[in-house]
Amino acid sequence: MKLSIEDLVQTRIPTQHGEFTLHYYSNNLDEKEHIALVKGAVADQDNVPVRIHSECFTGDVLGSRRCDCGEQLDMALDIINRHGCGILVYLRQEGRGIGLLKKLQAYNLQDQGLDTIDANLSLGHLADERQYDVAGLILQSLKVSSIALITNNPQKIDELTRLGIDVKNRIAIETSINADNLDYLKTKAERMHHLLSVNDEQD
């Protein structure tokens, strides 16, 4: 079955990072509620700042210091607001695609000494099971000409390029380092090749 999406609802969302239009998408492959927060006129624009953000309940909602997700979400919305236009695509693929239950189980394994990759593997999952096909279709539906991707992850650039998205530039999004996320960030940099500057300094 060929993946398709439908933009069902658009509504105004005022936030601490400015006003956005929230687009609610359905798709024909899963029942997940993928959304996009859009600021300004993005159709036919070049170098539109775009963040593809995967759901992280613990970081985005609870402010967990085990990861950098919540801080990246806030930073991305601030970048888009300051630019005057942009898109944040929020994909419902918790825990790098393994779901909240398995993610929490992986946390316990990490507390026993495994890194994020080995914890996922020990639970029978891949290191990263996220997919970006829905994000590609969302960007196409919004008719952007090219984007500046807000990311440290080269795989996201490769995946969106494969899906036909013109990624002109990358905007770095490095967050603070603390005792709880240091090993997480090191694993990202050393084993997942994220473009991060990580040392042993902690806040």
> 98-144: per-residue pLDDT in tens?
999 999 999 999 999 998 899 999 999 988 888 999 999 999 999 99
130 is catalytic: yes
Catalytic residue among 130, 162, 166, 180: 130
Check: CB of residue 25 under 8 Å from CB of residue 6: yes
Check: CB of residue 1 under 8 Å from CB of residue 26: no
Look at the domain 5-93+132-191 and name its fold. Answer: Rossmann fold (3.40.50)
pLDDT band at 200 (very low <50, low <70, confident <90, very high): low
The helix/strand/coil state of 142 is coil
pLDDT reading at 87 higher than 50 = yes
Q: Where are the domains of the chain?
A: 5-93+132-191, 98-129
Which residues, 6+ apart, have CB-to-CB distance to 98 below 8 Å?
106, 120, 123, 125, 129
Check: CB of residue 21 under 8 Å from CB of residue 12: yes
Check: CB of residue 203 under 8 Å from CB of residue 178: yes
Q: What is the pLDDT of the chain when averaged over all its residues?
A: 91
96 is catalytic: no
Catalytic residue among 128, 158, 180, 203: 128
DSSP designation for 166: -
